[in-house]
Structure 1
């Protein structure tokens, strides 16, 4: 019998909302419907073995079933649980998030429009870093195609009944990468460096979130192929830092201008000042702003998505 666990949400949360978000999040490559269980396959942080987890909505959070490996040892099961908790931002107490909407009517409107949506992270900081390298200087959909092919050809498959999900290759597998179709220039070399950093513990989520934010970002930018934008991506969407306004995300300023009906995108300083009222959930608010931008403009997909006003 598969091992199961329940994750309780503190504050608003909807797995269906998170799954709908993943359907439009190109790196995830999700093809399942929001009313189906969420099926995750990933290398376990600090272990390297591939886990498969089926996640279902629960009245107070989610229930999760470890499909693979069968009968994991307690330490491995605990690591899998911790990783799923972080992926879904259920490691953060969101009970104070509605108060941000009380302070800011624009945020209140976003919370009504996307009820229960929390950031859904990359399956690990390692995978976020690999995505940053793969996607460097190419279109996002092209990068997603390469990433999915790497998972199929180099990653481990996990069977969820008749449905198979391929995990992104574990660090030990990527550490020996010589090349791969679609990876140009120094990308194979950079991916090997990312893999070695993961094996050395430098991409551990708890380690990164335990550092002062500036120090964590500086440490990440020392990785080959990782610049300021990518470092923020790894920390916010890989390690799950819930409270930072990214300073190198160009779409955020456009999203803020749209949501706040500004005549032009705000400066970095103006964004920082505006973000003070979003504490301690600044990452969460920036996600809602970017989701609204994509819904209304289709900047990434090229097709605006239907959404409730």
Structure 2
């Protein structure tokens, strides 16, 4: 059942082609959406209901507009529709103003190539921070194909699906969908005892917290909360802060020995050449509250 279209207006500049390019190459969500030249269809779980959304670009870089169709296996009430539209806006960072970041980037000569390459790209987050946190558990010290297999089993067992045309869109479960799963069941499903235990901890933690606090609460407190989840370290916490919650305002280079830092230094070397941790950290701080966007652009460009 499809609702009449909703018109979404992102903050300009916004290039939907950049969005589609990122999604098409984002391996953690491979085959979980339907992509066409100017459209993206995907599904999400909202209040134990699976909702599909189909986005079509009908605007321009400087006057962007997206036409959004919502659909499901049952009628969508006003609460579900409102929550779905808010989720889409957050997922694609439609309300983020790139102006302050771009103004700082104009002073960074080596970064100009990256800026030209990705101009108009608003960060595409994980669809939900819970999915991001689960992926952080699944992908720790695990090959990508193996982690994707684990994720597929989670979706098949606890998620939901809707159909668009001849395509089936699968939605990752909400914490409530997994609330009744025991640690033993998750261990068996994932075929990995430690990951089953860690995933159960993520389910419990996210089932007891308000997402709005994770998005807007004091960064140090949210980081500490994430670090308190069993199986979460500095890399997992930073990963969810940036890619699941869009918390771009914090320092991105705190620990010279972390996996996150090593990955960012490798990406930065392709733009700036080899740099010490201290030099790159000082450079990052020039971006003030936009450090997260700077780091994300570097990684996407790499």
TM-score range, shorter chain: 0.7 to 0.9
Match of 1:11? 12
CA RMSD of aligned residues (A): 2.1
2:121 maps to 1:110: no
Q: 1:223 to 1:80 in 2, by over 3 A?
A: same
Q: Which residues in structure 2 correspond to 1:161-176 (within 5 Å)? A: 161-176=165-180
The aligned counterpart of 1:201 is 209
The answer to whether 1:230 aligns with 2:236 is yes
Deviations 1:183-226 (A, max 9, x none): 41222222222222222225x1x211222212111111111111
**Aligned residue runs from structure 1 range 35-46, under 5 A:** 35-44=37-46
Name the CA shift for 1:140/1:71 in 2 (closer, same or farther; >3 Å).
same
Unaligned regions of 5+ residues in structure 2, if any?
Answer: none
Change (3 A) 1:235 1:3: farther
Instruction: Provide the residue aligned with 1:133 in structure 2.
Output: 137
State whether residues 34 and 167 of structure 2, in contact with CA within 8 Å, keep that contact through their aligned partners in structure 1: no
SS at match of 1:38: strand
Contact 2:248 2:290 in 1 (8 A): yes
Query: Do structure 1's residue 286 and structure 2's residue 299 form an aligned pair?
Result: no
Would you say the 8 A contact 1:20–1:33 is kept in 2?
A: no
Distance 1:182 1:287 in 2: 30
- In terms of fraction of residues, the more helix-rich structure is 2
Contact 1:176–1:192 (CA<8 Å) still a contact in 2? no
Take 1:213 and 1:170, find their aligned partners in 2: how far apart are those partners? Answer: 24
Aligned equivalents of 2:117 and 2:11: distance in 1?
20
Alignment CA distance shift 1:39-1:32 (3 Å): closer
2:265 is the counterpart of 1:261: no
State the Cα distance separating 1:43 from its structure 2 match. Answer: 1.8
Q: Which of 149, 152, 155 is 1:148 aligned to?
A: 152
Looking at structure 2, the residues matched to 233 and 261 of structure 1 have their Cα atoms a distance apart, in angstroms, of 24
**What TM-score comes out, normalization by structure 2 length?**
0.86
| Residue number in structure 2 paired with 1:186 | 194
Q: CA deviation at 1:108?
A: 2.3
CA-to-aligned-CA distance 1:116-147 (integer Å, 9 cap, x gap): 22211111111111111111221123212221
Cα distance in structure 2, aligned partners of 1:14 and 1:224: 38
| Contact 1:39 1:53 (8 Å CA) reproduced | yes
Higher mean C-alpha displacement, 33-42 vs 81-90: 33-42
Say whether the 8 Å CA contact 1:51–1:66 is kept in structure 2: yes
TM-score normalised by structure 1 residue count = 0.85
Q: Post-superposition shift, 1:235? A: 1.3
Q: Aligned to 1:94, which of 98, 110, 124?
A: 98
Paired positions, count = 286
Find the residue that maps to 1:158 and give its secondary structure.
strand
